[in-house]
Amino acid sequence: MQRYPLRKEVPPKPFPARPTLSAHVTDTNTSNSAVRRNLINMVEPQSSSAEEPAVTGRSSQKTMPLPGSRGAPFFDKSKPIELLRFIDQMEDLFEEYGICNDQDKKKKLGKYADQQTEFEWKAFREFEDGIDFAEFKKALIDDYPEAQMARKGTLTALKNVCRENSRLLEGNYAQLKTLIRSFRAQQKLLPVPPVLVSNRELVYMFLGCLRESFASQVWSSLNIEQTRD
């Protein structure tokens, strides 16, 4: 019987020694923290520092309509009576778009008029630096008699209303409404001191716009109302 040699037992290899911590661990931790931060940034939304910076200063203000653009105020020198309305519109824009500096207001006011008018307005003493916009506005209005008339009201304007709406009959409904609107608007301005006309005179002026037959009917109605009172 053949015998085989016994296999020599090999002793098991010892486990490797547990590595010791060293200064390299700190570097590894720092690197891991950076990776962790990058992963978080990829998942989480960016912080406010990555957002577009808030716009500040003049660029944050809305831009006023360009002079001459559709819907922008414009002063027509051929219609000086509309100066007050034009200034009111411009002051509304100043408030809406945050224009507070008096000198800026003066400059912009002229930009919304024709070139010759802008040149004339710049020649006003009140246009100089250091003078309030209110003083400049008053100087402009005082320099346009038609604008003063629009603010105070005159007998001439009231007579023009009567002349444009004369000899009306009861059936002229649209013209009557026009007469009433225009007459009422002018009449409301007249009581501003000094008072130029009495209420009784205003009644006669209004009746003078009507045909005799229609005026008689209206006068009778007035008498009836006075009797009831």
Name the token pair of 159: 């007579």
CA distance 42 to 44: 6
Domains of the chain: which residue ranges?
72-151, 153-228
Could you read off the pLDDT tens digit of each residue along the chain, which spans 229 residues? 555 555 556 566 665 555 554 444 444 444 444 444 544 454 444 444 444 444 444 434 578 999 999 989 999 999 998 999 999 999 999 999 999 999 999 999 999 999 999 999 999 999 999 999 999 999 999 999 888 877 666 777 788 889 999 989 888 999 999 999 988 888 887 776 666 678 888 889 999 999 998 998 888 887 645 544 4
Q: Give 161: exposed, middle or buried? Use CB within 10 Å, 0-12, 13-18, 19+.
A: buried
